[in-house]
Structure 1
Amino acid sequence: MKMKMFGAALLTLSLALTGASAAHAFQGPPPPNPYGPPPPLRPGWDNAPGSYRDDIQRRAYQEGIHGARKDRENGRRPNVNNRDEYMRKTAFPVPPNMINSYRRAFAAGYSHGVQIFYGPRRY
């Protein structure tokens, strides 16, 4: 009796999983990125300005640029406030006395990245 119930449960599970994968296959490919492919980049395009003298500011600037790139690649509208790194929810640890400096440098890098990856148009 237990073996029949186990077999029925296994059959039901396998049919459910087959149906789920078939439904996924009918969804088709993801929609195209509304911003198109990213532009070609030259070496050094993401270097931080010389005004950023400490490692935290330079890293924040780089993370800002790469955050803009991720938003572009994922078809999201540019908004620095939607980046977890900017809001300090993820990323490397920053001393409390450097958070404002980190955020300013991140925002500057993000803005530079938006100009590169999205172009000069308004959003």
Structure 2
Amino acid sequence: EGTRANLKKLGFPGVTDETLIVRTDADASSKEPRRKLIAQRYRIVLLLGDNLNDFSEAFEKTTVAGRISAADQSKALFGTRFIMLPNPMYGDWENSVYEYNFKLTDAQKAERRRSLLKTVGGTP
């Protein structure tokens, strides 16, 4: 309800159950059910997101290598059908770096992130 209230408060037109499809407990971890629901009635021409999971279930709950492979297979869609809004602060990319091990210490997480950095002519 918070999203709906904020959109109305900001004056967005047409905020209804028909136009605003929000996450439910049943699909809390994936946007794929909502994408499929919309695709039943409409042609989806563009997806915007700050997370690869915003574009396809191919990016969900996989390793860093799996996400890279899925991105490579979808590369023709980036910039045309998939528009990425970068968010370096958090996201599912981080869970894949940690291999979905939520028991890692902060130091272990930092080391995993550091180990994946690529630099040009220097060290991370």
TM-score by length of 2: 0.29
Q: If each structure's strand is expressed as a fraction of its own residues, which one has the higher value?
A: 2
Q: Which has the higher relative contact order, 1 or 2, with Cα contacts under 8 A spaced 6 or more apart?
A: 1
TM-score by length of 1: 0.29
Q: If each structure's helix is expressed as a fraction of its own residues, which one has the higher value?
A: 1
